[in-house]
Amino acid sequence: MRRAVFPGSFDPITNGHEDIIRRALPLFDEIIVAIGVNADKKYMFSLEERKRFIEETFKDEPKIKVETYQGLTTEYCKEKNAQFILRGLRNPADFEFEKAIAHTNRMLSKIETVFLLTAASTSFISSSIVRDVLRNGGDYTVLVPEAVRK
- Annotated catalytic residue: which of 50, 51, 87, 127? 127
Q: Is the confidence at residue 61, as pLDDT, over 90?
A: yes
Average pLDDT over residues 6-10: 97
Q: Alpha-carbon distance 124 to 138, whole Å?
A: 16
- Annotated catalytic residue: which of 17, 50, 51, 87? 17
Catalytic residue check, 41 = yes
pTM assigned to the model: 0.94
Mean pLDDT of the chain: 95
- Annotated catalytic residue: which of 23, 65, 90, 99? 90
Catalytic residue check, 17 = yes
Q: Is the confidence at residue 39, as pLDDT, over 80?
A: no
Average pLDDT over residues 43-58: 97
pLDDT tens track for 63-91: 999 999 999 999 999 999 999 999 999 98
Q: If 0-12 CB within 10 Å is exposed, 13-18 middle and 19+ buried, where does residue 123 land?
A: middle
128 to 12, 14, 58, 81, 140: CA distances (angstroms): 9, 10, 22, 31, 12
Check residue 150 and give its pLDDT: 81
Catalytic residue check, 103 = no
Q: Alpha-carbon distance 34 to 32, whole Å?
A: 6
Catalytic residue check, 131 = no
